Structure 1
Amino acid sequence: MQLSVIILNYNVRYFLEQCVLSVQSALENIDGEIIVVDNNSQDDSCEMMKRRFPNVKLLQNNENLGFPKGNNLGVAHAQGEYICILNPDTVVAEDSFVKVLAFAKKQPDLGIVGCKLIDGAGNFLPESKRGIPTPFVAFTKITGLYQLFPKSKIFGKYYAQHLNENQTGKVAILVGAFMFMKRNLYLDVGGFDEDCFMYSDDIDLSYMMLQKGKSNYYFHETTVIHYKGESTIKDETYMERFQKAMLFFYKKHFKVSKLFAVFMKIGIVFFSFAKMFQGKAIIKMIPKSYLLYSANQKLADKLSLVLQKKVSFHDLKTEKMVISSSLRSGDGTEIILDNEFVSFKESIAILESSRKKSRCVGITFKIIPKNANFLIGSNNSNGRGEVIKIE
């Protein structure tokens, strides 16, 4: 078997359904498998998986084992030569794994491959590629120096700014939302360190690959949506775990003085509070109008009843798959993409292209997954996403 995709789920039933649907499409031309590990979700994630995806391997835990242990469990059941650690709040394109697999096979010193990540609004996520968060590099992140001097080789290491988002190349650290590697190498380094509950586990695994003499790569030729904020609510528990995670990484890999340790703790507290309030300061915007891209006129009528607002219809039987030229900056229109007629790859391309066009500022997006009774999406990378049932 070529590839095993490991998806660790915790209480994100609708995002999981869309994710698995996209992965199934992406594995059509690959000898692969999907393994979903559920960390004792209290929603109906497992019931949905059994009903909609009976052929997907589902591992149900009786408690929340955390990110490292949950993923290690999934990998232990994997049969693929390669594995992909994938967040449930992601959407992959139909050709994502074909492209990444072809790239990976060409690298003689392969560690981990990451890809280009965007949020639900089409914005590039800078954590797609990062440098080693040494104490100094972490300092540039905490103080915001990397933003003040974005082209500086000294201050731009945290987000590996020696590469732009459209350049493939070697980087030190990749994000756990999408990590592609050989299964044997993952097992050789011991997988994710289970002493870390979450948050620095991807940094640690990436760093261990470097210590093995391997190279990690940022691969820009495929884009994946990462909605973010779905598996984690940025509350006081989040802040505490984030602090512990960063301290875990420093204690494991770096020798620092007691004075510097105190300084870092102060910085981590500040950074944690910033992230916590960043996630809470989102004001929900209600769309002024809706535009459905589909070939199903009845769906537009049904959505008008559910949303209690007229839904304009862009008929894909007669019209091209382009964002309407009538949309303007600040328009407040929400575009709904029907996955029955718009592929995940096309949806991702639309989100990306919208952010490159100033006239599309203020436009938001939702997707209706194929054969699903809900539309789903997120308007930013800090707050939680939105699910609207259309039964």
Structure 2
Amino acid sequence: MKLSVVILNYNVRYFLELCLRSVQAAIANLDAEIIVVDNQSSDDSCRMVKQFFPEVILIENKENFGFSKGNNIGVAKAQGEYLCILNPDTVVSEDTFIKILAYMKNHINIGILGCQLIDGRGQFLPESKRNIPSPLVSIKKILGFSKAYYANHLSPTDTGKVDILVGAFMVLRKEIYDQVEGFDEDYFMYGEDIDLSYKVLKAGYENIYFGETAILHFKGESTLKDKIYAKRFHGAMQVFYNKHFKSNLVFDIIVWFGILFSRLLFRNPSQIDQNVTSHKLMTKSLHFNTELPFNITTVQSLAEASAHSQVVFDGNTIDYKSVIECMMFSDKDKEFTFRILPRNSKFIIGSDSAEQQGEVVLI
């Protein structure tokens, strides 16, 4: 088998369904499998997978093991030569895996490969490519100086070497994952991708950012940005620092102070004013029969949509690659918000901010 896509899920049933539909389309011509590991979700994620995706391998954990252990459990079942670690709040293009596997076949020293990630408003996510968070870089990031934290030597559409890739989307050979012993289970959530990227670098491989394909990452759907999040995130920073960079008492004190200072500055997320003035259904169909819970105007391109519109993509007639490209190249001055009606589904879904959970409208 060529590819195993491992998706760790926790209480994001509708985002998971959208993700699975996009992954199914992307592996249609590949020898591939999908493994969903559920970390004891309280919603009906598992029932949905069994009902709509019977061919998916579903692992139902009896407790929430966190990101590292949950993914390691899924990888242990994987049969593919390559692994894709994928968040459930993502949408992949139909040609994403084909492009990436072709590139990796011709570059045998690749450790981990990542790609361009955009958020729910079509904005590039800079954490798609990062530098090693050394103590000095981490302190600058904590204090609001993030330039050294991100790998800015590459543009979003470039391809080249980077140090750190994001755990929402990572592709690597299974033998390399096993060689470095996978995700470190000392991390419950956050920091695992940094640690794995760094271990792969130390093992002598190159991590590559591949800007020739993009995926949608709604980001933050599995957790709210609250004080528990802050504690876990900064706890992960401490774990990584202690494992890889602990050097002397002076640095220990500086890093500890920086983490404490960041916690004290943590604020609850502000509400985003969407200013939605109209809804536009973007579809290639001449006859759209599904009844939506708001008034809509049908369009066939974003050029037809007025500013501050909420654009709903009809997944029954538009492929996921086109959805992602429309979001990426939309006129940012028009301040669109975006929703997706997945193929053969009865809901509309989207997210406008990484600091809030997304919106699901049942139809």
TM-score range, shorter chain: over 0.9
Q: 1:282-297 alignment to 2 at 5 Å?
A: 282-285=271-274, 287-294=276-283, 295=285, 297=287
Q: Which one of 325, 328, 333 corresponds to residue 349 of structure 1? A: 325
- Name which of structure 1's ranges 234-243 and 39-48 shifts more when overlaid on structure 2: 234-243
Distance 1:235 1:71, change over 3 A: same
Matched, 1:371 2:347: no
Of 221, 246, 251, which residue of structure 2 is paired with 1:255?
A: 246
Q: In structure 2, how many angstroms separate the alpha carbons of the residues matched to 1:65 and 1:59?
A: 12
CA distance in 1, matches of 2:53, 2:221: 21
1:349-380 deviations in Å (ceiling 9; x for gaps): 000001xx3443x2111000001110001112
Give the counterpart letter for 1:324 in structure 2.
A
Tell me the SS of whatever aligns to 1:59. strand
Matched, 1:216 2:207: yes
Aligned to 1:81: 81
The unaligned stretches of length 5 or more in structure 2 are: none
Q: CA deviation at 1:69?
A: 0.3
Q: Distance in 2 between matches of 1:311 and 1:292?
A: 6
**Alignment-mate amino acid for residue 132 of structure 1:** I
Q: Which residue identity does 1:280 align to in structure 2?
A: P
Q: Deviations over 1:187-245 (max 9, x none)?
A: 11000001111111000000000110100000001000000110111112111111211
Contact 2:8 2:86 in 1 (8 A): yes
* Structure 1 contact 239–273 (Cα < 8 Å) conserved: no
- The structural deviation recorded for 1:273 is 5.3
Q: Distance in 2 between matches of 1:94 and 1:270?
A: 43
User: Which consecutive segments of 4 or more residues in structure 1 shift more than 6 A?
Assistant: none
For residues 10 and 272 of structure 1, the distance between their equivalents in structure 2, rounded to whole angstroms, comes to 25
Specify which of 186, 194, 202 is matched with residue 193 of structure 2: 202
TM-score (norm 1): 0.89
User: Which residue of the partner structure matches residue 17 of structure 1?
Assistant: 17
Mapped to 1, the partners of 2:332 and 2:246 lie a distance apart of 47
SS at the partner of 1:19?
helix
How far has the Cα of 1:385 moved from its partner? 1.1
TM-score (norm 2): 0.96
Is 1:240 paired with 2:231?
Answer: yes
2:292 is equivalent to residue 313 of structure 1: no
Determine the C-alpha separation between the residues in 1 that align with 2:320 and 2:154: 26
Go from structure 1 to structure 2 and tell me whether the alpha carbon gap of 1:258 and 1:29 turns closer, same or farther (over 3 Å shift).
same
In structure 2, the residue matched to 1:192 is 183
- Distance across 1 between alignment mates of 2:175 and 2:362: 42
Partner Cα distance (1:286, 1:61) in 2: 41
- For the 8 Å contact 1:243–1:265, the answer to whether it is kept is no
Distance 1:263 1:57 in 2: 46
1:59 aligned onto 2:62: no
Counterpart AA for 1:8: L
Whether 2:166 is the aligned partner of 1:175: answer yes
* Structure 1, unpaired ranges of 5+: 147-155, 315-320
Amino acid in structure 2 at the alignment position of 1:388: V
Aligned-residue CA RMSD (Å): 1.5
Residue 340 of structure 1 aligns with an amino acid whose one-letter code is N
Q: 1:257 to 1:92 in 2, by over 3 A?
A: same
Cα pair distance change 1:50/1:284, threshold 3 Å: farther
Alpha-carbon contact 2:35-2:58 (below 8 Å) kept: yes
Contact 1:297 1:313 (8 Å CA) reproduced: no
Aligned pairs (5 A) from 1:68-217? 68-146=68-146, 156-217=147-208
Q: 2:224 touches 2:355 (CA, 8 Å); kept in 1?
A: no
Q: Cα distance 1:116–1:62, how it changes in 2: closer, same or farther (>3 A)?
A: same
Task: Kindly indicate whether the alpha-carbon contact (under 8 Å) linking 2:280 and 2:305 is maintained by their aligned counterparts in 1.
Answer: no
Residues 115 and 219, structure 1, Cα contact 8 Å, conserved in 2:
yes
Query: Percent identity, aligned pairs only?
Result: 49
Read off the aligned partner of 2:351 and give its amino acid letter: S
Partner amino acid for 1:381? Answer: A
Q: SS of the residue aligned with 2:302?
A: coil
Alignment: residue pair count? 362
